[in-house]
Amino acid sequence: MAEISVNNLTFSYETSYDNIFENTSFQFDTDWKLGFIGRNGKGKTTFLNLLLGKYDYRGTIVSNVSFDYFPFQVEEKDTITLEIIKTIIAPFLEWDKKMRDYEKEFELKADLLEESDSYNEYSEILNQYLLHDGYQIEELIKKEIAKLKLKEEVLYRPFSTLSNGEQTKLLLAGLFLKKNNFLLIDEPTNHLDMDAREVLKDYLATKKGFLLVSHDRDFIDHVVDHILSINRNTIEVIKGNFSTWQENKNRRDQFELAENEKLEKSILHLEVAVRNTAGWSDKIESTKIGAGPVDRGYIGAQSAKMMKRAKAIEHRKNREIEEKSKLLKDIDTTESLKMNLLEMKKNRVLDVTDLTLGYLNEQNDDLFDNYLFKNLTFTLNVGERIALSGKNGCGKSSILKFILDHDKKNKNSNILYQYKGNIKLTNDVVISYVPQDTSFLKGSLKDHIESMGFKESTFKMLLRKLDFPRIQFEKNMEEYSEGQKKKVLLAGSLISPSHLFIWDEPLNYIDVLSRIQIEELLLEYQPTMLFVEHDTVFTKKIATKIIHLNSKDSYIIETS
């Protein structure tokens, strides 16, 4: 077991005056399963980049292992997948070619001495090849991907033809087969459906030697044995999973809030005492008015003595205030949010009856050859929150977009559907929509707020409650992290006066504390919702019904 040691780490970006890390020190072991958590924009990705050597910094990071990053960037995506995976593990293709070239040279020069440079270089490559299990590597890859419920045939397809879930699993399998590395896994579950998450969760639970950035609480709980947390003013490492960390944090926050309350009362008493002390000499000095010359001299002397004494007491109490103020904890708490709900005159918001849905296909216009699902029936009443669940591609997002397409105020002419069945939205229903995609967020935040017709100060105040850094307000939205872009979309939805909230994977990239904020908000306001979300903790807490799209031909409605 080796240790990765971070000592007095200080770093800031060239364009910023604020340090992201300042004299930060901590250690963790290379065989740990380390969960990495913290608010969006607090430095998680920056720290990963520092480990990877992408930026200069002050201080030291000491390690005897190499770091590898997921998601791994594949340059030639049309390459056969097996070749890509082998190249991730070690330069097998390069070694194979060099060894073949040397072997041909040896055949032509049978008298070549074993002490020659060619023979020594060949021996060195062969040793590396053996060290990295070169002769067994394809079998090892096949065994590894079987653990991820993948069939061998995916290895012989171009990488570009694979689904996001298949690509994620294959890249992780390759990275875990590398020797002497510590893996930095950055949000592997984004865009994975629940089934794929379960497979990946079980796989990672069998591994060790990685740092995992994830905002999915159930996922983290299942796979990690330590937590590295970036708090508001500190970084801490604890043994346990996310639930352990949260329980400790809640207990510590309650204690520190009570201590803060005591300190604040003590500081208030000291401040009152300082003001009273400062007034002593003034009161005595004011009695000189109307007194005789001798009395005025005596009173002046008394006032001077009292002023000197008052200054000494004031200085001492100010020092006490300063010392007590330093003891106040800047606790990483969340502020309560608000929603702008419109009142519905009717109880029924949406009726879907015997809906069969598919996309238009120029090659074949027969809906029953192209449908995503068929004969779907459900109702949505005021205060209900329906979650759509199922594998990627089963039609969850399509249902949301189809409903929006039926609402003339949200008409999306870019999507062409074929459908049979009926869908009925209550007249004049106002819908607030959060899409999966954030790429359309461009330009200044101010212009975006104005284009949506919102009050700038109110919108920014809501973002600040979601711990959105104030410094980001002046940047173009292209520079925002994915989590920050999602917060812009969520803030827009929360501030919009609406009857129905349609959210499509709203929590992708959103940090854990913000997820908890949003959960508490929805449980308090009880809005009418139709949503898709792969965070199982969120779905179980928020949904009053879950529609499981099990296959093209069957679905189950589960009532919470």
Q: Where are the domains of the chain?
A: 70-242, 248-327, 348-559
Of residues 40 and 205, which shows the higher confidence score?
A: 205
Q: Based on C-alpha coordinates, what's the Rg of the chain?
A: 32
Poorest-pLDDT segment among 188-202, 403-417, 419-433: 403-417
Using alpha carbons, select from 193, 195, 168 the residue that is nearest to residue 395. Answer: 193
Q: Is the pLDDT of residue 506 over 70?
A: yes
425-431 average pLDDT score: 92
pTM to 2 decimal places: 0.79
Q: Is the pLDDT of residue 392 over 70?
A: yes
Task: Specify whether the backbone of 467 is left (phi greater than 0), alpha (psi in -120 to 50) or beta.
Answer: left
Right CATH for 70-242 from 3.30.420.40, 3.40.50.2300, 3.40.50.150, 3.40.50.300: 3.40.50.300
Q: Is the pLDDT of residue 451 over 60?
A: yes
Task: Specify the residue for token string 């300042």.
Answer: 22
Percent of the chain with pLDDT over 70: 83
Q: Is the pLDDT of residue 552 over 70?
A: yes
Four-residue CA torsion sign, 518, 522, 525, 527: positive
Report the distance separating Cα 124 and Cα 119, nearest Å: 9
Poorest-pLDDT segment among 17-26, 88-97, 323-332, 346-355: 323-332
Q: Is the pLDDT of residue 370 over 50?
A: yes
Q: Is the pLDDT of residue 377 over 50?
A: yes
What the block records as the tokens of 383 is: 């205060």
**pLDDT value at residue 232:** 77
**pLDDT value at residue 553:** 82
Q: Note the pLDDT tens digit of each residue in 409-420.
A: 554 445 567 888
Q: Is the pLDDT of residue 294 over 60?
A: no
Task: Specify the residue for token string 């913290």.
Answer: 38
What is the rounded average pLDDT for all residues in the chain? 86
Q: Note the pLDDT tens digit of each residue in 48-99.
A: 999 999 999 999 999 999 999 999 899 888 999 999 999 999 999 999 999 9
Report the distance separating Cα 310 and Cα 280, nearest Å: 7
388-410 average pLDDT score: 83
Right CATH for 348-559 from 3.40.50.300, 3.10.20.30, 3.40.50.2300, 3.40.50.150: 3.40.50.300
What the block records as the tokens of 60 is: 């030291």
19-31 average pLDDT score: 93
Percent of the chain with pLDDT over 90: 57
Q: Note the pLDDT tens digit of each residue in 149-196.
A: 999 999 999 999 998 889 999 999 999 999 889 999 999 998 788 889
List Cβ neighbours of 401 (8 Å cut-off, separation of 6 or more). 412, 415
Report the distance separating Cα 338 and Cα 527, nearest Å: 11
Q: Is the pLDDT of residue 557 over 60?
A: yes
What the block records as the tokens of 515 is: 């997820």
Q: Is-same-fold flag (70-242; 348-559)?
A: yes
Q: Is the pLDDT of residue 287 over 60?
A: no
Long-range contacts (CB closer than 8 Å, 24 or more residues apart) made by 542-545: 542/385, 542/387, 543/385, 543/386, 543/387, 544/383, 544/384, 544/385, 544/386, 545/378, 545/384, 545/385, 545/386, 545/387
Contact 77, 160 (CB under 8 A): yes
Task: Specify the residue for token string 């005595």.
Answer: 284
Q: Is the peptide bond before 506 cis (omega within 30 degrees of 0)?
A: no
